[in-house]
């Protein structure tokens, strides 16, 4: 099945502050070399004190619009994938819509954790079938919910945002298909226990550390190896394309060592595996669009290439997307507005 809805531009934003392994290793009880050996990560970015998820998302959105040659007035929908929203409510997408000045656009959040961007892409594809443009953004600020003493999580995550503009593309290009699957029986593998209706935030929940992100790393690795290859194979089968047709694999940047093992297991002989995890670590829902933007701006993606996106994470959720690449080479220049302090209090 082909589609005339596709990615016409990309953009991303990483905070200025670079945090090396040496900086975070002591609190986690490990050394810098151990982190790189176990994860493939050398450094990550952390948001500045005045930056929240919406601020990062807005800058990435502006950069994607600049690359597309569009203005905020051209945006009909803003879909933000995040599991670290500015607040429980309103939606972070509403704040982004306000920050970028897309006054006529709808705004909605998607929380499928690290697979959220692919979920958001699938939703936005439906929203623009009858015309218009959608901004699809993945953004997370994980540094605010990490226990620096927990080596299972503190060493893995960073902050960032990535965005794409979705709209009409020439026939035969664009998003060919998506495959979304939930495995709720495994929901305990990843999560933040407190802060919702089941365990409301309280002095006790903070003292007990229940507001921190926790993860069963071994369980997650087993989930990925057990489910991701089958999901990718199913997506290709439904699209009528052989594995040899895939030119690029852009996965969620969970762990560099795990991703290289996954790449070998997938049997995509002609696909280039794109990784940014060494520089930016795991940026949650932002990792797929950040890596996609990095590949695009490096000139690695040619019009007509077949790009496979693979997200996986808390829930547990899986999202696979298959795209025939249609974005033109990025326009020169990245000057955008600074949204760091424009919305400090909502």
Residue 103: name the closest of 81, 63, 135, 75 by CA: 75
Backbone angles phi, psi at 254, to 5 degrees: -75, -45
Q: What would the two tokens of residue 146 be?
A: 């990490």
Contact 261, 206 (CB under 8 A): no
Paired strand residues for 248: 272, 307
114 is catalytic: yes
Helix axes 217-239, 256-266, angle to 10 degrees: 40
Cα 148 from Cα 141, distance rounded (Å):
14
Catalytic residue, candidates 21, 46, 77, 114: 114
Catalytic residue, candidates 21, 55, 111, 282: 282
Contact 261, 39 (CB under 8 A): no
21 is catalytic: no
Cα 52 from Cα 277, distance rounded (Å):
21
Cα 261 from Cα 249, distance rounded (Å):
13
Catalytic residue, candidates 252, 274, 296, 339: 252
Backbone angles phi, psi at 167, to 5 degrees: -170, -170
Cα 169 from Cα 8, distance rounded (Å):
7
Contact 20, 42 (CB under 8 A): yes
323 is catalytic: no
Burial class of residue 182 (count of CB atoms within 10 Å of its CB; 0-12, 13-18, 19+):
middle
Residues annotated as catalytic are 114, 252, 282
């Amino acid at each position: 099945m082909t589609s005339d809805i596709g990615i016409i531009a990309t953009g991303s934003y990483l905070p200025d502050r670079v945090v090396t392994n040496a900086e975070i290793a002591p609190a986690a009880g490990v050394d810098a070399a151990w982190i790189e050996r176990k994860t493939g990560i050398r450094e990550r970015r952390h948001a500045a004190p005045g930056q929240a998820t919406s601020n990062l998302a807005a800058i990435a959105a502006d950069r994607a619009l600049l690359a597309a040659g569009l203005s905020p007035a051209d945006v009909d929908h803003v879909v933000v994938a995040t599991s670290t929203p500015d607040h429980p409510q309103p939606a972070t997408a509403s704040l982004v819509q306000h920050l970028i000045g897309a006054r006529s656009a709808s705004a909605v959040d998607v929380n499928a954790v690290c697979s959220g961007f692919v979920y958001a892409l699938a939703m936005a594809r439906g929203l623009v079938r009858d015309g218009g443009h959608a901004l699809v953004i993945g953004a997370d600020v994980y540094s605010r919910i990490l226990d620096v003493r927990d080596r299972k999580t503190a060493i893995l995550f960073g902050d960032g945002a990535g965005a794409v503009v979705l709209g009409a593309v020439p026939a035969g290009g664009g998003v060919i298909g998506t495959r979304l699957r939930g495995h709720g029986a495994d929901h305990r593998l990843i999560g933040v226990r407190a802060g919702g209706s089941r365990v409301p935030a309280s002095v006790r929940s903070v003292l007990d550390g229940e507001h921190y992100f926790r993860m069963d790393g071994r369980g997650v690795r087993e989930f990925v190896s057990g489910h991701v290859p089958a999901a990718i194979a199913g997506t290709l089968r439904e699209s009528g394309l052989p594995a040899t047709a895939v030119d690029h694999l852009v996965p969620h940047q969970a762990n560099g060592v795990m991703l290289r093992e996954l790449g070998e297991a997938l049997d995509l002989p002609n696909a280039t595996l794109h990784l940014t995890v060494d520089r930016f670590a795991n940026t949650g829902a932002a990792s797929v669009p950040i890596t996609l933007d990095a590949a695009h701006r490096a000139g690695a993606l040619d019009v007509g290439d077949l790009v496979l996106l693979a997200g996986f994470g808390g829930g547990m959720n899986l999202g696979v997307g298959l795209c025939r690449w249609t974005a033109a080479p990025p326009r020169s220049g990245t000057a955008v507005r600074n949204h760091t302090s424009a919305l400090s209090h909502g």
